[in-house]
Structure 1
Amino acid sequence: MLQSGGVESHMYQLATKLIDRGHKVIIITHSYKTRHGVRYLTNGLKVYYVPFFVIYRESTLPTVFSFFPIFRNILIREKIDIVHGHASLSSLCHEAILHARTMGLRTCFTDHSLFGFADAASILTNKLLKFTLSDVDHVICVSHTCKENTVLRAALDPSMVSVIPNAVVAENFKPDPTAASKSHITIVVISRLFYNKGTDLLVAAIPRICELHPSVHFIIAGSGPKAIDLEQMLEKHMLQDRVQMLGPVRHEEVRDVMVRGHIYLHPSLTEAFGTVLVEAASCGLYVVCTRVGGIPEVLPSHMTVFSRPEEDDLVSATSRAIKEIRMGRVKTEKFHEQVKSMYSWTDVAERTERVYEGICTGERVGLMERLKRYYGCGIWAGKLFVLCVVVDSLILVLLEFLFPQSGIDTARSWPTKAPRMTDGGGRRDRSKRRGSNVEAVVEEDLNGVREN
């Protein structure tokens, strides 16, 4: 996963914590440029980079069935029990859940985004989501707003949807009071420069904020199609000496950028959670953000100044934050310890583990019951969904005939903790680690997987 973002970070952190708790976890994604095959990351996390064609923003071309042979092979090789998909716009995620259900495995889905209901793109996405989630065992959302959105979009029973927020490794986002300038207020923006991230609002607000507050400077990190609009704005208003554009930064460099500022500005138009807000607060920044989506659920009110997603209100909210910082009314030095106590990936892993335990004890459904679920997805869409499932089931029969499970070699597991067992009193047996954490990068060729 070379496209580092909120979803990718979530998957990596969750996977490593689940491995720490004694589970075997692998990640399946598409290849990135020269990165393909199989690699081991820190803690023995195994990543399969499948050579699939990418069409837009690191999303693969939807093929529905062509992913099934190699996906089945990987699941059998690794002895997988649960398939956990992430992100509504990932075609690999939707296909993996479909194929896993056809193979009789348990499935779970985590939604990280908010979508509308009226535009063509949202309608198609929602119909695809309804197809996938019609036969999923459980759904996880990163905020209560995201849960409400997903339940409405996919027509789900709210009882089968849990809310488990993102988290942050607070130790990686420690404040540094000596890094920020003493002579002026610095506002930091770290975001992908797309329309939905509020870049147009940023372009309109920065000149007005700079005019109202001559001692304010900006640091902007990120890349995207809207970067050209920011550059044109700087040239038009001659703000090159007050606005520094860093371009894309690696996730491990985010903290070093954040600690240079006093205020973090987040003008997003839609957001299911906003992990970057937690990271900014952990670094000791006062957060100015729009009141949209799940953002109001992320941080307590004393850490944030909220704004409507409008230019005038964003300028006003930022001005209030600047005044609060100048007058010393905000005790940002206490933010780090407060965030550390609120968000933990260990807690996220424990709650996700309880979801896994719940779906493993549920009743298994047969093919006819699955077809009934899909048929109820719409007059025309239901029939198309049923056809897809029938074809998928026939492909599985063909694969079982051509490549029986007995002929597929089992992959060796990375040395890790013994599985956590529950004793009679309900306590967990925390066994000692059988192997040490070793950071290694192992290249393998997928030809062997294809041959099997």
Structure 2
Amino acid sequence: MPYNIAMVSDFFFPQPGGVESHIYQVSSKLIDRGHKVIIITHAYKGRTGVRYLTNGLKVYHVPFFVIYRETTFPTVFSFFPMFRNIIIREQIEIVHGHVSLSSFCAEAILHARTMGLRTVFTDHSLFGFADAGSILTNKLLKFTLSDVDHAICVSHTCKENTVLRASLDPLMVSVIPNAVVAENFRPLSYNPRGSQSITGSPDPRPAPTPIGPNDTITIVVISRLFYNKGTDLLIAAIPRILAANPNIRFIIAGSGPKAIDLEQMLERNVLQDKVEMLGSIRHEEVRDVMVRGHIYLHPSLTEAFGTVIVEAASCGLYVVCTRVGGIPEVLPQHMTTFAKPEEDDLVFATGKAIAALRSNKVRTDRFHDQVKMMYSWQDVAERTERVYQGVTGDISPEEFYGYYPGQGWEASGDRVRSFALIDRLKRYYGCGVWAGKLFCLCVVIDFLIYVFLEMWFPRANIDIARSWPKKQPAGKSRVSTDRSQTRNHSLGS
């Protein structure tokens, strides 16, 4: 059964990044499967109001104040009137938030539950438990997920992290990885004939000409230049890699506060002729940069998945990356060389990868076909759709959570979140001695604002937006116009 879905996050195009690409690709594939999907994000420079993207994907750019790294200033309640208007106009049934640090995501999930909508949350990040920033972030995540219907994580490591941070029932968290459009990340000399499958069947193509000892090897780095992306580690490792390995060249694309430190290192060591700085690039330019290299270096200190390393492998690059977070789950070992997040080990791993390429021990010409068989956005959309079916009750809790008679446990009724205010307050009250009371106060105020809006700005005065015309897939029924309104009014029934 088709659904009306709102994807909500502070992070979306035109800003480049893995989260932005994930939201767009999943939304586009869900539309192909017959669902209606809209995006709600904040206004970017040159992007305000309502925009339409490919495949009829509608984007609402809400004008809110941005404070840091494209995250809006958290106001908790001021977003509610505009959010309610959009939800009613588009007849939304499911609100799907992305990224734990997104203010829009946290507020949208709170407001959606107050309006009687089903909610889903996708976590793309990993956080610690000791420093002040992590403690504050984890408390915010606990607030966001206390009343969410289901959560999705992009790797098993990310799931373990999220379950611990938000004290969730593990059965309420699914693992759905990111993917890549392999056709958009082809090597320069791609030959699809005789491709080797991941099962190891013979490949009749001749081995590529090995890289000689005097041939130049180019190492590509495409990343936001922030501390958590390992920029300091990169700055320390580049001079040592260049000193130990002649005929090496770096191409670095990305921007951020650490860019000035990187430029100072190049000037201090006089490496401008060895390292090319491209600055910020658009996502559609990533492939053109990657195919100029032989090795992709990913020195991140924390990573839930790392879509960029899948894109690099699809382009035929050998990947050198740190063994952190969910990165070891992403690619098979023959495509990667792992290093500890330490300077010495990163230099050693990079030297090992250079030696492997020069000796022709790695068949990078096979990577593209193998990656194409591993990851698919269509598969991600189908698995996400199953989550929607589970939270809306279109499939039984036993089927969704994997419970079958005779297994020794019963499906907990708490996994089906009640919209009753008293039940919601019970869930929030358990978030902490002081935080629980504060969260309950927020929920009560949000409910009172909702009652006020329903009385003074009735739904009948809000025009219903016409959906983008599209051909319904075979076997898909049309969305009834009153189904979402019935669910929206369930709180007052």
Asked if Structure 1 and Structure 2 have the same fold, meaning a TM-score greater than 0.5 normalized by the shorter chain, the answer is yes
- The separation in 1 between residues aligned to 2:356 and 2:476, in whole angstroms, is 48
Q: Does 1:71 align with 2:83?
A: yes
1:274 to 306, 311, 314: 306
Q: Does 1:158 align with 2:170?
A: yes
Instruction: Name the structure 2 match of 1:414.
Output: 468
Instruction: Name the structure 2 match of 1:441.
Output: none
Question: Any conservation in 2 of the 1:278–1:299 contact (CA below 8 Å)?
Answer: yes
- The separation in 2 between residues aligned to 1:232 and 1:378, in whole angstroms, is 46
> Which moves more between the two structures, 357-366 or 308-317?
357-366
Could you say what secondary structure the match of 1:236 adopts? helix
The TM-score normalised by the length of structure 1 is 0.92
Q: Does 1:261 align with 2:315?
A: no
Question: Any conservation in 1 of the 2:127–2:161 contact (CA below 8 Å)?
Answer: yes
- The separation in 2 between residues aligned to 1:196 and 1:350, in whole angstroms, is 32
- The separation in 2 between residues aligned to 1:230 and 1:380, in whole angstroms, is 43
Q: 1:237, CA displacement in angstroms?
A: 1.3
Task: Note the alpha carbon deviations across 1:166-185, whole angstroms, 9 max, x for none.
Answer: 0000000001149x998311
Structure 1 residues 26-105: aligned runs within 5 Å: 26-105=38-117
Give the counterpart letter for 1:171 in structure 2: E
Q: 1:431, CA displacement in angstroms?
A: 8.2
Q: 1:365, CA displacement in angstroms?
A: 3.4
Q: 1:34, CA displacement in angstroms?
A: 2.9
- The separation in 2 between residues aligned to 1:28 and 1:5, in whole angstroms, is 17
Question: Any conservation in 1 of the 2:187–2:316 contact (CA below 8 Å)?
Answer: yes
Say if 1:42 and 1:386 are closer, same or farther in 2 by CA, change over 3 A. same
Q: Does 1:290 align with 2:322?
A: yes
Instruction: Name the structure 1 match of 2:384.
Output: 352
- The separation in 2 between residues aligned to 1:363 and 1:64, in whole angstroms, is 22
Q: 1:89, CA displacement in angstroms?
A: 0.5
Instruction: Name the structure 2 match of 1:5.
Output: 17
Q: 1:239, CA displacement in angstroms?
A: 1.1
Task: Note the alpha carbon deviations across 1:392-444, whole angstroms, 9 max, x for none.
Answer: 00000000011111111100000124277xxxxxxxx2689xxxxxxxxxxxx
Instruction: Name the structure 1 match of 2:423.
Output: 369
- The separation in 1 between residues aligned to 2:471 and 2:423, in whole angstroms, is 38
Q: Does 1:144 align with 2:198?
A: no
Instruction: Name the structure 1 match of 2:489.
Output: none
Give the counterpart letter for 1:294 in structure 2: G
- The separation in 2 between residues aligned to 1:247 and 1:4, in whole angstroms, is 13
Instruction: Name the structure 2 match of 1:446.
Output: none
Instruction: Name the structure 1 match of 2:278.
Output: 246
Task: Note the alpha carbon deviations across 1:306-363, whole angstroms, 9 max, x for none.
Answer: 0000000000000000000000000000000100000000000000000000000156
Could you say what secondary structure the match of 1:12 adopts? helix
Instruction: Name the structure 2 match of 1:210.
Output: 242
Say if 1:417 and 1:160 are closer, same or farther in 2 by CA, change over 3 A. farther
1:196 to 202, 213, 228: 228
Instruction: Name the structure 2 match of 1:127.
Output: 139
The answer for unaligned runs of 5 or more in structure 2 is 1-12, 191-208, 394-415, 479-493
Instruction: Name the structure 1 match of 2:434.
Output: 380
- The separation in 1 between residues aligned to 2:15 and 2:301, in whole angstroms, is 22
Question: Any conservation in 2 of the 1:19–1:416 contact (CA below 8 Å)?
Answer: no
- The separation in 2 between residues aligned to 1:163 and 1:156, in whole angstroms, is 14
Question: Any conservation in 2 of the 1:282–1:335 contact (CA below 8 Å)?
Answer: yes
- The count of residues paired between Structure 1 and Structure 2 equals 423
Could you say what secondary structure the match of 1:346 adopts? helix
Give the counterpart letter for 1:227 in structure 2: A
Question: Any conservation in 2 of the 1:263–1:286 contact (CA below 8 Å)?
Answer: yes
Give the counterpart letter for 1:151 in structure 2: V
Could you say what secondary structure the match of 1:25 adopts? strand
Q: 1:366, CA displacement in angstroms?
A: 1.1
The answer for unaligned runs of 5 or more in structure 1 is 421-428, 433-452
Instruction: Name the structure 2 match of 1:21.
Output: 33
- The separation in 2 between residues aligned to 1:189 and 1:34, in whole angstroms, is 28
Instruction: Name the structure 2 match of 1:405.
Output: 459
Q: Does 1:341 align with 2:353?
A: no
Task: Note the alpha carbon deviations across 1:5-24, whole angstroms, 9 max, x for none.
Answer: 11111000010000000000
- The separation in 1 between residues aligned to 2:37 and 2:306, in whole angstroms, is 25
Could you say what secondary structure the match of 1:201 adopts? helix
Give the counterpart letter for 1:263 in structure 2: I
Task: Note the alpha carbon deviations across 1:106-144, whole angstroms, 9 max, x for none.
Answer: 000000000011111111111011011000000000000
- The separation in 2 between residues aligned to 1:14 and 1:93, in whole angstroms, is 17
Say if 1:431 and 1:75 are closer, same or farther in 2 by CA, change over 3 A. closer
Give the counterpart letter for 1:412 in structure 2: R
Question: Any conservation in 2 of the 1:106–1:359 contact (CA below 8 Å)?
Answer: yes
Instruction: Name the structure 2 match of 1:443.
Output: none
- The separation in 1 between residues aligned to 2:245 and 2:436, in whole angstroms, is 58
- The separation in 2 between residues aligned to 1:284 and 1:33, in whole angstroms, is 35
Say if 1:431 and 1:131 are closer, same or farther in 2 by CA, change over 3 A. closer
> Which moves more between the two structures, 280-289 or 237-246?
237-246
The TM-score normalised by the length of structure 2 is 0.84
Identity of aligned residues (%): 77
- The separation in 2 between residues aligned to 1:418 and 1:168, in whole angstroms, is 26
- The separation in 1 between residues aligned to 2:110 and 2:470, in whole angstroms, is 30
Say if 1:132 and 1:346 are closer, same or farther in 2 by CA, change over 3 A. same
RMSD, matched Cα? 1.5
Instruction: Provide runs of 4+ in structure 1 moved above 6 Å.
Output: none
Give the counterpart letter for 1:414 in structure 2: W
